[in-house]
Chain A
Amino acid sequence: MTAEPLVPIDLAQIDVRVAPDLLPFAAPLENGVTGWNDRDVLWLGPDEWLVVSEPQTASTVARELHDALAGHHHSVLDVSANRIVFDLIDGLEVLSSGCGLDLHPTRWRPGMCAQTLFRKAQVILHQRDERTTRVFVRPSFERDVIDRLAATRVS
């Protein structure tokens, strides 16, 4: 893992819950990520997705989704503050110090995501490309997760 300090990235995050056939974009497979224009759509569950886009776009994305799903039972929530996000570069080894997921590059590939545990903190991992792992974590756990990653990195 590279040694730059971990800096949270400001991103819009929208939680969507609806029957999958109603989505205005191609639903990602289980534990997968698809694109929706320039946005990432992360699979969180069989009827739950996280749309991740540029900062300040939360209300735009939410409105688009509301419009597309109008008349159907759905839930669209701005959860941009519900998790902080940072990108780890070459960080799979250090993540494996506290995560039981199979993170071998032949199994854990770009375009995959998972909700799992890093030690005792629930995290969402999104492998963006060969080197970049995006980590979503509740803000209250931010310091714990970052300190734990750093403790493994320096040791």
Chain B
Amino acid sequence: MLLIRCPWCGPRDEIEFRYGGQAHIAYPADPDALSDADWADFLFMRDNPRGPFRERWYHVHGCRRWFNAVRDTSTHRFVATYRIDEEPV
């Protein structure tokens, strides 16, 4: 079980968290301006790299804060976690 460092509560067991998918994908400012293909791309398509990956986590059973993380998908190791209002490391 992963040990995840919540930027607020510190390290906690993975079961306290919910995974939130790829990070830094903003909701389009004007969805109406997007073609069906571009909207589908926003809706369904996500990166799936081997190596460092920016993703969102939610401390659902703790402080209920969403935060971002960089996790190496090949080792499961967290490189960093950072608050939602912090610049990506």
Contact = CB atoms under 8 A, between A and B. Distances in A.
Contacts of B62: 114-116
Q: Size band of the A side of the interface?
A: 10 to 19
B84 to A, nearest CB: 10
Contacts of A116: 12, 16, 61-62
B63 A115 contact: yes
B64 interface: yes
Interface of B: 8-10, 12-13, 15-16, 61-65
21 contacts: A30-B8, A30-B9, A30-B10, A31-B9, A31-B10, A44-B63, A48-B63, A100-B12, A100-B15, A101-B12, A114-B9, A114-B62, A115-B9, A115-B61, A115-B62, A116-B12, A116-B16, A116-B61, A116-B62, A117-B15, A122-B61
